[in-house]
Chains A and B, each alone.
Chain A
């Protein structure tokens, strides 16, 4: 039995797409399989690990807990959309490189989207707030210290005056 398909319009990283999906297609699978945007990673697929976090109309959500069909008309930002305007590393990605905020990298896309949204609303977090901001994302490699440092470093990069050039290497923010 073939399932009925639902025509669904999504704007992903600024690009409009029309997909025909079965109702049960998760947004995470739609992004990866229908649109080929494999930056969004699927870890637990029941809303615990945070790896699949994307921004829906600017707000972070678990893409494994959303049906693509229900997102009709939404603007989605994935990790691919978190790069800089020039196409290089975005501020959060740069901060992860600066601070060695990733090891295997599987969880990183969910962190990048989550932190991008968080810093948009909280440009100058304390370390404690940074830790809380990433509380919904699991990382099994790093022990989190360098990810917390990356949040603070990303905030620093975002505060740098416009046009101060491409991000520099920069020393990692000290971690406890």
Chain B
């Protein structure tokens, strides 16, 4: 099918984009990579009257790595972040999760920030942002920019805290604390498909290579990414012999998936346990390898 007609705006600056977005309000939609939006338009599941094309805003095309975080501008493509050595070194989870997003063809155009704003419950990056305690920067005309923590940003399926007239300008993925390792695992029916379930885990080890803290964020098992603290199951245990299954049980108990045509709720819950256990083990191994390399 073809999209319904819309009015096309191509602002040359962020200020101009914000002015247009303020003017069109509820009738406007931001077009970044379009890899989720254009299918919705083609199928006429969405028919905004105004599209504001932000792909021309060079000021939003950045991947900046500093001491604290990886900051990704609104039109940085998945592929760019995926292949950025600095970003991969600072937050290895980012690359791991991005590699599971669709296919190269889609990652060449889709954007990291767009994926966050789209807030698909099956998407990887919202969970990564939640797991790392990151945030999204929002700008609007007439108001100062605001920064929304990941925990508050994802409101429901396909619903974020973005207000009409606002533009998400960047996302901030903090570096995990020293001694941490991360892992992303997911199961999809076919490579590149939406995950039936996915789990990211971040494990922090103490100097004796025992688990100091651990947490997970799961996708496709609830309306928004589900954070689970795994420290009760793993805390104080050796990095290579912790009770991974107990961590899995915590995750399985924390999620409340629905049945759908792809999987039953019971199968998704089962996967939440298995994938969390698997990711926790890899995350602990990654943390230990990093600590041993720096020792």
Contact = CB atoms under 8 A, between A and B. Distances in A.
B38 A136 contact: no
B104 to A, nearest CB: 7
Most A CB within 10 A of own CB, among B8, B41, B190: B8
A50 B104 CA distance: 11
Most A CB within 10 A of own CB, among B2, B103, B105: B105
Most A CB within 10 A of own CB, among B4, B7, B38, B43: B38
A43 interface: no
Contacts of A45: 1, 42
B3 A24 contact: yes
- Interface size of B as a range: 20 to 34
B165 to A, nearest CB: 21
Nearest to A1: B5
Contacts, number: 86
B4 A24 contact: yes
Contacts of B162: none
A22 B5 contact: yes
B69 to A, nearest CB: 27
B31 A70 contact: yes
Interface string A1-41: 00110100000000000000011101001000000000000
A24 B5 contact: yes
Contacts of A26: 2-3, 38, 42
A153 interface: no
B34 interface: yes
- Interface size of A as a range: 20 to 34
Nearest to A60: B105
B52 to A, nearest CB: 11
Contact of A61 (B10, B41, B108): B108
B53 interface: yes
Contacts of B104: 60, 118, 133, 136
Interface in B155-179: none
Nearest to B34: A65
B interface: dominant SS: loop
B102 A136 contact: yes
Most B CB within 10 A of own CB, among A60, A62, A66: A62
Contacts of A76: none
A65 B5 contact: no
A103 interface: no
B213 interface: no
Given A24-B3, A133-B104, 18 more contacts: A4-B7, A23-B5, A23-B8, A24-B41, A46-B39, A46-B42, A47-B39, A50-B103, A60-B108, A61-B105, A62-B35, A66-B38, A67-B31, A69-B8, A69-B10, A136-B104, A136-B105, A136-B106
Interface of B: 1-8, 10, 31, 34-35, 38-39, 41-43, 51, 53, 55, 79, 102-106, 108-109, 190-192
Ranked 10 nearest A-B pairs via Cβ = A136-B103, A23-B8, A46-B39, A65-B38, A59-B108, A24-B3, A60-B105, A135-B191, A136-B105, A61-B109
Interface of A: 3-4, 6, 22-24, 26, 29, 45-47, 50, 53, 56, 59-62, 64-67, 69-70, 114, 118, 132-133, 135-136
22 contacts: A23-B5, A24-B2, A45-B1, A46-B39, A46-B42, A47-B38, A47-B106, A56-B108, A61-B105, A62-B105, A62-B106, A64-B38, A65-B42, A66-B34, A66-B109, A67-B8, A69-B53, A70-B34, A114-B105, A133-B104, A135-B191, A136-B106
